[in-house]
């Protein structure tokens, strides 16, 4: 196991309000300035004494610091630095996660020399090592093995009083605790509870006019029959408007004023439906998440996605503010351009559900028959056991500036497509395919004739203009390098292909 973390340092820059950040010093100052472009030139052309750092977790950009920057080796005084990091922002947590993963790889001198800038974006390939988490108190230094810390409840902070929980320094890893693929135990870096927000059961209309009840003659009414009543003449169950209800089939929730099933109607507006028990948890690398606490079957309604309803202009304003504040979590759900639900300040537990490439839930749009209001519900798409984290596919659209948030998907599924970006996801990004192509085996030499053959590979790019997909072909035994081919999958000239599981 490599324990050296050569090259990773803690940096305390004046510009960062005096807190420590993990970074790596860059040896080729000129190359860094060139990468940063004009802005850096203007700042630093007169400052030959400036040291150049690349901050972890900063999205790949360099930051050049003046000599006032304090800098210590990664291993030194870690405990002390963590104390200074309270409260830990999501951005810094990500930076530390990246630095840990980077430090674990050992000697970085070659990469630093070559001015490699890969470490801020996707994590480096995992390496096998021992994972241990320490609990350190300011007064007495005790250590406990602790792997999955989760917030017990939103009301109870993970961290209490003087205790700070953090992953121990690379050099302190001890053998025989737990063998696993290295994933930095970020959950324990999170102290406290999710940022404050107001829990609301129904969306509030901020920049869109609130819905008004329509005249009953206009509301969509189903043709269901009143369900059977018990002896007293009162419906005992909400068993009206079942799967055959035309409103339900069209995803309209019935209008209680006109529904033939009356009180027995089960096709109510989302906010009136029963929901299973859930709990907020701290995930390893995607911030907070929502876990199911009781099993549900496929099709079960989980929770309504509520928030403040905004128009396009207000969304743009809020995004601008988010960018100024370095906000990394986005809670926007777009119904249409001028009708966006923002759950950042007000919302339901649905705001904690993360995106997944192999999700167990989906979003469904339902229209309230009495007001025509569109509401969004999260529904299970498979039977989900208790204790499972809930996920749905965000199909994340770039709201405004694409650089405002990270689009790297960290759902952790073996077939993760690596991105939250809807455009890439819809373009079959990272899907496995078997496709017919003209290729020559490499071992046959450069003059070998190409022949039609089926190859397996992964979609890595999409050329929208030409509607072609780039497939990275799996390297066969006689090929040292991977080959990429462009293929058309739809329309004229489409290659024969099949999607692989």
Ligand X SMILES: C[S@@+](CC[C@H](N)C(=O)[O-])C[C@H]1O[C@@H](n2cnc3c(N)ncnc32)[C@H](O)[C@@H]1O
Task: Point out which residues bind ligand X (CB under 6 A).
Answer: 194, 286-289, 328-331, 351-352, 354-355, 405, 409-411, 420
Compute the least distance from the CB of residue 401 to ligand X, in Å: 14
Burial zone of 14 (CB within 10 Å; 0-12 exposed, 13-18 middle, 19+ buried): exposed
Nearer to ligand X among residue 248 and residue 424 (C-beta): 424
Q: Which long-range contacts (CB under 8 A, 24 or more apart) does 414-418 make?
A: 415/357, 415/358, 416/357, 417/357, 418/122
**Are the beta carbons of 407 and 396 closer than 8 angstroms?**
yes
State which residue has the least CB distance to ligand X: 287
Compute the least distance from the CB of residue 410 to ligand X, in Å: 4
Compute the least distance from the CB of residue 200 to ligand X, in Å: 15
Distance in angstroms (rounded) separating the CA atoms of residues 55 and 209 = 45
Distance in angstroms (rounded) separating the CA atoms of residues 309 and 339 = 6
Burial zone of 258 (CB within 10 Å; 0-12 exposed, 13-18 middle, 19+ buried): middle
Compute the least distance from the CB of residue 351 to ligand X, in Å: 5
Distance in angstroms (rounded) separating the CA atoms of residues 319 and 24 = 30
Handedness of CA 35, 39, 45, 47 (dihedral sign): negative
Compute the least distance from the CB of residue 329 to ligand X, in Å: 4
Strand ranges for 127-199 from DSSP E: 128-130, 133-137, 163-167, 179-181, 198-199
Residue carrying the six token digits 């020399």: 113
Nearer to ligand X among residue 7 and residue 347 (C-beta): 347
Compute the least distance from the CB of residue 67 to ligand X, in Å: 35
Task: Work out the end-to-end distance of the chain between its first and last CA atoms, rounded to an integer number of angstroms.
Answer: 34
Compute the least distance from the CB of residue 94 to ligand X, in Å: 9
Compute the least distance from the CB of residue 17 to ligand X, in Å: 23
User: Which ranges of 194-311 would DSSP assign to H, the alpha helix?
Assistant: 246-249
Nearer to ligand X among residue 135 and residue 411 (C-beta): 411
Burial zone of 408 (CB within 10 Å; 0-12 exposed, 13-18 middle, 19+ buried): middle
Nearer to ligand X among residue 329 and residue 364 (C-beta): 329
Nearer to ligand X among residue 169 and residue 427 (C-beta): 427
Nearer to ligand X among residue 81 and residue 425 (C-beta): 425
Nearer to ligand X among residue 174 and residue 199 (C-beta): 199
Nearer to ligand X among residue 13 and residue 158 (C-beta): 158
Compute the least distance from the CB of residue 407 to ligand X, in Å: 8
Nearer to ligand X among residue 53 and residue 288 (C-beta): 288
Distance in angstroms (rounded) separating the CA atoms of residues 254 and 73 = 64
Distance in angstroms (rounded) separating the CA atoms of residues 400 and 345 = 20
Compute the least distance from the CB of residue 414 to ligand X, in Å: 14
Three-state SS letters, 108-139? CHHHHHCCCCHHHCCCCCCCEEECCEEEEECC
Nearer to ligand X among residue 32 and residue 357 (C-beta): 357
**Are the beta carbons of 229 and 216 closer than 8 angstroms?**
no
């Amino acid at each position: 196991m490599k324990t050296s973390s050569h090259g990773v340092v803690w940096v305390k820059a004046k510009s960062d309000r005096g807190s420590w950040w993990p970074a790596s010093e860059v040896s080729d100052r000129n190359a860094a300035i060139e990468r940063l472009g004009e802005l850096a030139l203007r700042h630093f052309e007169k400052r030959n004494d400036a040291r150049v750092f690349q901050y972890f977790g900063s999205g790949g950009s360099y930051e050049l610091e003046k000599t006032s920057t304090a800098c210590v080796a990664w291993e030194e005084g870690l405990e002390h630095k963590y104390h200074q990091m309270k409260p830990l922002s999501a951005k810094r947590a990500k930076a530390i996660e990246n630095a840990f993963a980077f430090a674990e790889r050992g000697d970085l001198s070659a990469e630093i020399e070559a001015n490699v800038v890969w470490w801020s974006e996707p994590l480096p390939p995992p390496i096998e090592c021992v994972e241990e988490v320490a609990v350190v108190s300011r007064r007495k230094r005790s250590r406990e093995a602790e792997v999955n810390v989760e917030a017990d409840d939103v009301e109870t902070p993970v961290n209490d009083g003087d205790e700070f929980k953090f992953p121990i320094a690379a050099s302190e890893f001890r053998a025989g605790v737990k063998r696993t693929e290295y994933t930095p135990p970020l959950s324990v870096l999170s102290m406290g509870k999710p940022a404050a927000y107001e829990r609301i059961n129904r969306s509030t209309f901020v920049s869109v006019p609130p819905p008004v009840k329509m005249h009953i003659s206009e509301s969509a009414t189903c043709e269901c029959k009143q369900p059977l009543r018990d002896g007293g003449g009162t419906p005992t169950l909400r068993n009206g408007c079942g799967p055959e209800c035309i409103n339900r089939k069209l995803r309209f929730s019935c209008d209680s004023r006109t529904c033939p099933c009356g009180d027995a109607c089960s096709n109510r507006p989302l906010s009136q439906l029963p929901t299973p028990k859930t709990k907020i948890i701290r995930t390893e690398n995607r911030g907070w998440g929502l876990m199911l606490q009781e099993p549900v079957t496929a099709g079960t309604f989980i929770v309504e996605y509520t928030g403040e309803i905004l128009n396009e202009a207000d969304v743009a304003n809020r995004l601008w503010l988010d960018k100024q504040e370095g906000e990394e979590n986005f809670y926007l759900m777009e119904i249409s351009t001028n009708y966006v639900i923002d759950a950042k300040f007000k919302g339901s537990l649905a705001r904690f559900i993360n995106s997944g490439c192999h999700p167990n839930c989906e979003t469904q749009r339902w229209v309230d028959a009495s007001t025509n209001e569109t509401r969004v519900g999260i529904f299970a798409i498979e039977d989900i056991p208790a204790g499972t984290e809930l996920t749905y596919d965000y199909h994340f659209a770039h709201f405004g500036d694409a650089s405002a948030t990270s689009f790297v998907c960290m759902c952790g599924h073996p077939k993760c497509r690596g991105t939250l970006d809807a455009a890439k996801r819809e373009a079959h990004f990272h899907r496995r395919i078997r496709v017919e192509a003209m290729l020559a085996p490499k071992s046959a030499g450069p003059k070998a004739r190409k022949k039609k053959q089926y190859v397996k590979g992964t979609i890595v790019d999409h050329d929208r203009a030409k509607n072609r997909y780039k497939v990275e072909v799996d390297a066969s035994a006689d090929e040292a390098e991977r080959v990429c081919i462009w293929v058309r999958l739809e329309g004229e000239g489409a290659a024969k292909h099949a999607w692989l599981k």
